[in-house]
C-alpha cells in the first residue's frame, strides 16, 4: 500500500498561486504529480502542507546525473554536500573544481562523475596562465585530453590540457555567428582555435577571415578546425604576433577577443581597418563605469571618431570587474 505523504490541499482556483508559492519556498515534492481531486488541487510537498494523501501518482522521473552521483559515490556521507553541482563539459572531457576536503577522494569522485555524466576524462580545473591563456589542469580520471566540442553546429577540436575553452563565452560565440559579415574582410586578432572565426565562417558569408594566433599549438588546432568545419576557403590562419602582421587588404571588421591590456592592441586594429569599420572590442572595466571606462580606453589610444553600437556585459570577471564587449564603429 502507498504511504500517505504531505500535501497542500487548496481550492482549484487558488492552485496556480499556491503552486508558485510552494515552488518559491523550495518544498514542492518532485517525485509526485500535482493532482486535481474533487474540486481541490493537491500539491505534493516535502514538508509543511495541510494534510496527507496517498492518491497522487508517483512520477516516472529519470534521476539527474547529480542525483545518481550522490546515490552512488563511495565517500564519507558528511562530504556529500561538498560535491560539485556544476561542471564544464568540453567534448568528452569534464572539468570540475573540488573543495580541499574532497581531494583525498578525487579518484573515486572522478570515476563516478565520468560514469554518470558519460565522459571519457575528468580533470580538476586550475588557473589559466599567461598571454597564451594556457590552462592548468589535473587529470583525476581517464587519460585523453584531446577532444571535439560541438556547439552551434561548429566543431572545436582542442586539447584541454594545452588550450583554454571558456564555456561562459557561449552567448558571444553564438552572437558572432549571427553578425552580418556578408562579403566582408574580417581580422580575428586573437583567434585561438577559432572561437569566433569558426562560427562566423560556418554561419555567415564573409569574403575572408584572417585568423591571427601567436601560440603554435592553438594555431595547429585552428588549421585542423578549418578543415573539419570545411571553411578552409574562407578562414586563413596566420601564426605569429598580430602586431607583426600586415594585411594586404583593408579590413571591414576586427575581432579582439582577448582580455588583459586589449587596449594596447587598439592601434593595430585601427591600422587594419584603415580608418573605417567595426571593432568587436573585449575588455575589462570596473562596475559602475563601464561605458566611461571604455570611452576612456578608446580615447587614450587616439581614437576619437567612433560610436558604440552595442555594449554587452559578458560575465563578472572579478569582484566589481566585468568582461564586456563593445561593438565600436570607427569613422
Kindly state the smallest distance separating residue 139's Cβ from ligand SAM, in Å.
21
Least Å distance, CB 103 to ligand SAM, is: 28
Rounded to whole angstroms, the Cα distance separating 327 from 78 reads: 49
HSE-up (13 A, CA, CB side) for residue 245: 25
- The dihedral region occupied by 230, where left means phi > 0, alpha psi between -120 and 50, and beta the remainder, is left
Nearer to ligand SAM, 29 or 151 (CB): 151
- CB distance 242 to 189 below 8 Å: yes
Check if the beta carbon of residue 186 is closer than 8 Å to that of residue 251.
Answer: yes
Minimum separation from the CB atom of position 132 to ligand SAM (A): 4
Closest CB to ligand SAM among 123 and 212?
Answer: 212
List residues binding ligand SAM (CB under 6 A): 131-133, 164, 166, 169, 190, 192, 195, 212-215, 218, 241-243, 257-258
**DSSP-based three-state secondary structure for 78:** helix
Residue closer to ligand SAM (CB basis): 113 or 221 = 221
Instruction: Look at residue 138 and give its three-state secondary structure.
Output: strand
> Within its chain, how far is the Cα of 286 from the centroid?
22
**C-beta closer to ligand SAM: residue 67 or 241:** 241
**Which is closer to ligand SAM, CB of 208 or CB of 323?**
323
Cβ at position 195, least distance to ligand SAM in Å? 4
- Closest listed residue to residue 217, CA positions, set 152, 157, 303, 283: 157
CB of 218 or CB of 235, closer to ligand SAM: 218
Report d(CA 233, CA 304) in Å as an integer. 36
Q: What does the chain come to in residues? A: 331
Give SS3 for 173. helix
Rounded least distance, CB 257 to ligand SAM, Å: 3
State in angstroms the smallest separation of the CB of 218 from ligand SAM: 4
Amino acid at each position: 500500500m502507498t504511504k500517505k505523504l504531505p500535501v497542500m490541499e487548496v481550492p482549484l482556483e487558488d492552485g496556480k498561486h499556491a503552486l508558485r508559492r510552494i515552488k518559491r519556498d523550495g518544498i514542492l515534492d518532485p517525485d509526485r504529480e500535482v493532482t486535481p481531486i474533487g474540486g481541490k488541487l493537491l500539491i505534493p510537498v516535502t514538508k509543511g502542507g495541510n494534510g496527507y494523501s496517498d492518491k497522487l501518482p508517483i512520477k516516472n522521473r529519470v534521476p539527474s546525473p547529480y542525483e545518481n552521483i550522490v546515490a552512488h559515490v563511495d565517500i564519507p556521507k558528511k562530504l556529500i554536500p561538498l560535491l560539485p553541482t556544476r561542471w564544464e563539459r568540453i567534448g568528452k572531457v569534464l572539468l570540475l573544481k573540488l573543495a580541499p576536503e574532497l581531494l583525498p577522494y578525487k579518484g573515486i569522485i572522478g570515476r563516478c562523475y565520468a560514469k554518470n555524466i558519460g565522459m571519457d576524462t575528468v580533470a580538476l580545473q586550475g588557473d589559466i596562465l599567461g598571454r597564451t591563456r594556457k590552462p592548468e589542469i589535473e587529470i583525476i580520471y581517464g587519460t585523453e585530453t584531446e577532444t571535439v566540442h560541438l556547439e552551434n553546429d561548429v566543431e572545436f577540436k582542442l586539447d584541454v590540457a594545452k588550450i583554454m575553452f571558456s564555456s561562459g563565452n557561449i552567448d558571444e560565440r553564438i552572437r558572432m555567428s549571427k553578425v552580418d559579415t556578408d562579403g566582408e574582410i574580417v581580422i580575428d586578432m586573437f583567434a585561438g582555435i577559432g572561437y569566433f572565426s569558426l562560427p562566423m565562417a560556418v554561419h555567415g558569408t564573409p569574403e575572408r577571415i584572417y585568423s591571427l594566433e601567436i601560440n603554435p599549438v592553438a594555431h595547429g588546432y585552428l588549421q585542423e578546425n578549418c578543415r573539419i568545419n570545411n571553411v578552409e576557403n574562407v578562414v586563413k590562419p596566420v601564426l605569429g604576433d598580430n602586431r607583426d602582421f600586415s594585411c594586404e587588404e583593408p579590413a571591414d571588421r576586427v575581432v579582439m577577443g582577448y582580455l588583459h591590456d586589449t587596449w594596447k592592441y587598439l592601434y593595430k586594429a585601427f591600422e587594419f581597418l584603415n580608418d573605417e569599420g567595426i571593432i568587436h572590442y573585449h575588455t575589462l572595466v570596473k562596475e559602475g563605469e563601464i561605458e566611461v571606462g571604455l570611452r576612456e580606453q578608446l580615447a587614450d589610444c587616439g581614437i576619437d571618431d567612433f560610436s558604440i553600437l552595442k555594449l554587452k556585459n559578458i560575465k563578472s570577471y572579478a569582484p566589481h570587474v566585468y568582461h564586456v564587449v563593445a561593438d565600436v564603429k570607427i569613422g
